[in-house]
């Protein structure tokens, strides 16, 4: 059942004299209760409230085009006039999983509305505001959802490879045969209290670990610090890694790329970058997406990536100035996947911050690819070989001594879908937290409002 709920429109913010009526608009989405707390067949009530509409909306000029999908392929859609008043939609789901509701403001030609910058770009503040505007999604939309019995969601037992632990013991034995040796080249650092190095570290597999290491100068006076491993999101075929513009003087930080690519400080040229772009592809697919390559877990592209993550942690523990107890890992998306590997690979990580974690519940990928209308449609095809890299399978092996944090799980993120994130969180044995963000897609977070964020936390005695 669905209907439009009409009541007094929200107050308008002060607007630029020539601003378009929707140029500062966005849609705030809420549910009638905690969106993670619904039961099977319980009615979910979504309210989509326009915010930032500046002036009167011309009658018949705009419409709200909405679509409701779920993890099992059911789809409903419709359209209502967009008047600036709230839209209420009611639905339900009969089994554990998530409902997704996304809605876009379209014009009378049914084209999605695109906002334009209406500030004064002649001032430094205005230029900064314009640059920020250009980085954001420019549609007027809501993309979020709600879940049913999310605490019961778990990976099917037959998905986890029976020889998972034996397989990884063999892979890590390869790493044991390679001594931890590095090359460092010091480079300029903007923080006068730290030193910055380009590093190359020997590793098993086809490529070394490469990245940038920052070390507080206080280490030279005997001070000790936590160590942190930072990992990257999916880079497609860019295959570049630039030195960070700012580094911490309170931690020893190793920031690594996913490929072990040659850095410019070690002589990398444009030719090297172009060659690597072709090398990481397989059967015409960008890295990690080739099902033929992924059938064998030893040839899967992720194999070398896991080894580089483990070697990077081993290396950090040899660094002068480590305090010997605090070992952190952090990253988002593909970096979040690598962070889960880091936490579970046996190197003693004490805190893992894995945001919008990629590759959770990968057995569902074929279903998701089939239901592109209900998803982002950007998922690695499932094979038995790729199951050795699923974040949910790894999460079961994270020790309770590691505090595992999922800082953001978007209820509208269908690059890293909510069902997979729920299974990931449920699989972590303890000492964990997750923040579910209503209206958040993979690369978009709506402005802060009451009813946007929902935190779950579990602390188990170590």
pLDDT in tens, 80-116: 999 999 999 999 999 999 999 999 999 999 999 999 9
| pLDDT number for residue 79 | 97
| pLDDT number for residue 89 | 98
H-helix or E-strand spanning residue 130: helix 124-135
| pLDDT number for residue 374 | 60
What are the boundaries of each domain within the chain? 2-152, 164-458
Do the domains 164-458 and 2-152 match in fold? Answer: no
Q: With bands split at pLDDT 50, 70 and 90, how would you rate the model's confidence at 235?
A: confident
Give the sign of the dihedral formed by CA 422, CA 159, CA 429, CA 403. Answer: negative
Whether 3 has a pLDDT exceeding 60, the answer reads no
Q: With bands split at pLDDT 50, 70 and 90, how would you rate the model's confidence at 11?
A: very low
Distances (CA, A) of 50 to 12, 83, 88, 145: 10, 9, 12, 17
pLDDT in tens, 74-84: 999 999 999 99
Pick the range with the lowest mean pLDDT from 50-64, 118-132, 328-342.
118-132
Q: What phi and psi values does residue 312 have, to the nearest 5 degrees? A: -60, -40
Pick the range with the lowest mean pLDDT from 11-20, 128-137, 412-421.
11-20
Q: With bands split at pLDDT 50, 70 and 90, how would you rate the model's confidence at 9?
A: very low
Q: With bands split at pLDDT 50, 70 and 90, how would you rate the model's confidence at 7?
A: very low
Whether 8 has a pLDDT exceeding 80, the answer reads no
Residue % of the chain over a pLDDT of 70: 94
Pairing of strands 194-201, 209-216: antiparallel
pLDDT in tens, 439-462: 999 999 999 999 999 999 998 754
CATH class of 2-152: mainly beta
Buried b (16+ CB within 10 A) or exposed e, 247-264: bbbebbbbbbbbbbbbbb
Whether 181 has a pLDDT exceeding 50, the answer reads yes
- Give DSSP secondary structure letters for 16-46: -TT--TTTT-EEEEEESS-TT-B-TTPPEEE
- What is the number of residues in the chain? 462
Give the whole-angstrom CA distance, residue 157 versus residue 428.
15
| pLDDT number for residue 16 | 34
Q: Count CB neighbours of 445 within 10 A.
A: 17
Instruction: Say what angle helices 334-344 and 301-316 make with each other, to 10 degrees.
Output: 60
| pLDDT number for residue 430 | 85
- Which tokens sit at 206? 């086809």
Q: With bands split at pLDDT 50, 70 and 90, how would you rate the model's confidence at 12?
A: very low
| pLDDT number for residue 373 | 59
| pLDDT number for residue 461 | 54
pLDDT in tens, 408-445: 999 999 999 999 999 999 999 989 999 999 999 999 99
Pick the range with the lowest mean pLDDT from 183-187, 235-239, 301-305, 449-453.
235-239
Give the whole-angstrom CA distance, residue 444 versus residue 205.
36
Of the candidates 329, 320, 311, the residue with the CA atom closest to the CA atom of residue 225: 320
Whether 56 has a pLDDT exceeding 50, the answer reads yes
Q: Count CB neighbours of 394 within 10 A.
A: 25
Mean pLDDT of the chain: 93
Contact 97, 44 (CB under 8 A): no
| pLDDT number for residue 1 | 41
Instruction: Tell me what the mean pLDDT of segment 305-326 comes to.
Output: 98
Give the whole-angstrom CA distance, residue 334 versus residue 228.
17
Q: With bands split at pLDDT 50, 70 and 90, how would you rate the model's confidence at 120?
A: confident
Q: Could you say which architecture CATH assigns to the domain 164-458?
A: 3-Layer(aba) Sandwich (3.40)
| pLDDT number for residue 135 | 84
pLDDT in tens, 248-294: 999 999 999 999 999 999 999 999 999 999 999 999 999 999 999 99
| pLDDT number for residue 118 | 83
Instruction: Say what angle helices 164-176 and 301-316 make with each other, to 10 degrees.
Output: 60
């Amino acid at each position: 059942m669905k209907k439009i709920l009409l009541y007094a429109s929200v107050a308008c913010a002060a607007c630029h004299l020539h601003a378009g009526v929707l140029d500062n608009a966005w849609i705030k989405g809420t549910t009638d209760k905690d969106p993670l707390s619904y039961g099977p067949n319980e009615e979910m009530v979504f309210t989509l409230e326009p915010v930032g509409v500046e002036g009167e909306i011309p009658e018949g000029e705009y419409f709200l085009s909405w679509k409701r999908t779920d993890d099992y392929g059911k789809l409903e859609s419709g359209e209502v006039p967009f008047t600036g008043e709230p839209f209420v939609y009611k639905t339900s789901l009969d089994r554990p999983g998530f409902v997704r509701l996304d809605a876009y403001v379209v014009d009378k030609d049914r084209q999605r509305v695109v906002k334009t910058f209406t500030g004064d770009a002649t001032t430094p503040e205005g230029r900064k505001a314009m640059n920020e505007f250009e980085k954001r999604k420019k549609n007027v939309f809501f993309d979020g959802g709600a879940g049913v019995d999310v605490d019961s969601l778990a990976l099917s037992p037959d998905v986890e490879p029976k020889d998972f632990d034996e397989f990884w013991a063999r892979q890590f034995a390869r790493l044991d045969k390679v001594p931890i040796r590095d090359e460092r080249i010091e480079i300029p650092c903007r923080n006068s209290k730290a030193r910055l190095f380009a590093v190359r570290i020997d590793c098993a597999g086809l490529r070394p670990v490469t990245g940038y290491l920052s070390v507080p100068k206080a280490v030279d006076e005997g001070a000790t610090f936590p160590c942190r491993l930072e990992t990257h999101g999916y880079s497609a075929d860019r295959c570049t890694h630039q030195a960070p513009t700012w580094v911490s003087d309170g931690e020893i930080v190793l920031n690594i790329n996913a490929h072990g690519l040659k850095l410019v400080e070690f002589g990398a040229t444009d030719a090297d970058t172009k060659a690597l772009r072709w090398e990481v592809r397989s059967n015409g697919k960008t890295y990690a997406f080739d099902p033929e390559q992924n059938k064998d877990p030893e040839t899967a592209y992720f194999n070398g990536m896991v080894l580089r993550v483990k070697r990077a942690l081993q290396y950090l523990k040899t660094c002068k100035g480590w305090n010997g107890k605090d070992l952190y890992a952090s990253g988002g998306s593909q970096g979040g996947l690598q962070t889960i590997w880091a936490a579970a690979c046996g190197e003693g990580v004490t805190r893992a911050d894995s945001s919008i974690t990629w590759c959770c519940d990968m057995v569902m990928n074929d279903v998701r690819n089939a239901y592109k209308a209900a998803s982002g449609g950007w998922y690695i095809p499932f094979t038995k070989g790729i199951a050795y890299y699923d974040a949910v399978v790894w999460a079961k092996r994270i020790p309770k001594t590691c505090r595992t944090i999922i800082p953001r799980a978007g209820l509208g993120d269908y690059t890293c879908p909510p069902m997979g994130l729920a299974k990931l969180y449920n699989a972590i044995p303890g000492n964990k937290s997750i923040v579910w963000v209503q209206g958040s897609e993979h690369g978009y977070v709506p402005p802060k409002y009451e009813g946007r964020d929902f935190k779950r936390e579990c602390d188990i005695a170590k």
